[in-house]
Amino acid sequence: MSPSLDSVGRSSTAERRTLPIGVIGLGRLGSALAGALAAVGYHNVTVTGRDAARVERLAPSLGVTAQPIDTLVERSALVFLTVPDHAIEGLGDTLRWHAGQGVVHCSGALGLDVLRGVEAGGAHAGCLHPLQTFPAASLGTALTMRACADLFEGIVCGVEGAAPVGDLLMAIADDLGARIVRLEGVDRALYHAAAVLVSNDVIALMAAASRAWERAGLDVTAAQTALAPLLLAASSNAAHLPLAAALTGPIARGDAATVERHLRALDADPGLRALYRALGRELLRLDLGLSPEARAALEALLHEG
């Protein structure tokens, strides 16, 4: 008899950790998720991926077992699809799912409609989306189980899915040390855009800052090393303080003269100047306690064509 979630219900932690779980796709997220599950006591986790040799090589360091995809699907009660967004629907439509099985994608941008093929076969569709970046696998580094678990500790995971899969995913997120936000009824494109703005676009800001650094006459190869501590400090402030209190610099001070000097210096690069203005306007949405005069001076500068 194929393993099913229908008898799991609100199982105990010990029972959950015996559940046969499969992870399809051993890239950044898949590696981290498999290793984290093993680290917190899930001892029946199997993995598969396109590169069988790589999967066999990584599996021992993650504390999991490699299996062919058909075997993994047949033997798993819960399967995570940690593959690119464009591949999710095809896997859902073509793999041989069984009734009562849980099938979970990990995309922030997609709803459960991409798993219609899964539900047609009697399986339960769900989503678990960790609000986290998982860079290590792209660098060719084999994560340890403990390092994988650390990536989930204290983060937020978006969860969607009816019982029993939704309840199980919430319990798993809790076991991983993550907090939970339910995604039912949420505009997934805007939810995912928020995550992209704060995770991906900060890299764009570093690239833009490096351009300004080079235009100033400095060695561009030193830009990242010099500017990264500022980025880390700002990120820490944003994580622990109200945003208005986290902000430093000329706009926080109402220093229109410095902002004007910046804009004049950026005249030679219209793209950087436009980005500086757009981000400055966003900062002025915060309640910075500026005097009406200071705010008006900054708005005039930041709204000029």
pLDDT tens digit string along 55-104?
A: 999 999 999 999 999 999 999 999 999 999 999 999 999 999 999 999 99
Task: Return d(Cα 81, Cα 73) in angstroms, integer.
Answer: 11
Residue from 278, 274, 286, 281 nearest 298 by CA: 281
Q: Mind listing the pLDDT tens digit for each residue in 104-135? A: 999 999 999 999 999 998 999 999 999 999 87
Mean pLDDT of the residues in the chain: 93
- Quick one: tokens of 304? 């000029």
Predicted confidence band of residue 12 (pLDDT cuts 50, 70, 90): confident
Backbone angles phi, psi at 24, to 5 degrees: -100, 110
**Strand order, beta sheet including 102-105:** 65-66, 45-48, 21-24, 78-81, 102-105, 124-130, 156-160, 179-182
pLDDT digits (tens, 9 = 90+) for 145-189: 999 999 999 999 999 999 999 999 999 999 999 999 999 999 999
CA distances from 244 to 46, 152, 173, 286 (A): 46, 28, 31, 6
φ and ψ at 256, to 5 degrees? -65, -30
Q: What is the CA radius of gyration of the chain?
A: 23
Distances (CA, A) of 90 to 78, 93, 124, 200: 18, 5, 17, 26
Residue 99 phi/psi, 5-degree rounding, is: -60, 135
pLDDT digits (tens, 9 = 90+) for 187-208: 999 999 999 999 999 999 999 9
Rounded Cα distance, 196 and 202, in Å: 9
Structural domains of the chain, ranges and CATH numbers in brackets: 13-186 (3.40.50.720), 198-302 (1.10.1040)
Instruction: Please answer whether residues 102 and 167 qualify as being in contact, where contact means their C-beta atoms are separated by less than 8 angstroms.
Output: no
Query: Do residues 120 and 91 lie in contact, with contact meaning Cβ atoms separated by under 8 Å?
Result: no
**pTM of the entire predicted model:** 0.90
The C-alpha atoms of residue 114 and residue 117 are separated, in whole angstroms, by 8
**CA distances from residue 232 to 202, 229, 235, 249, 278 in whole angstroms, order as listed:** 11, 5, 5, 15, 22
Q: Long-range contacts of range 288-294, CB-CB < 8 Å, 24 or more positions apart?
A: 288/244, 288/247, 288/251, 288/252, 288/254, 289/244, 290/254, 291/254, 294/254, 294/256
Burial of 234 (0-12, 13-18, 19+ CB in 10 A): middle
Q: Is 14 exposed, middle or buried (0-12, 13-18, 19+ CB in 10 A)?
A: exposed
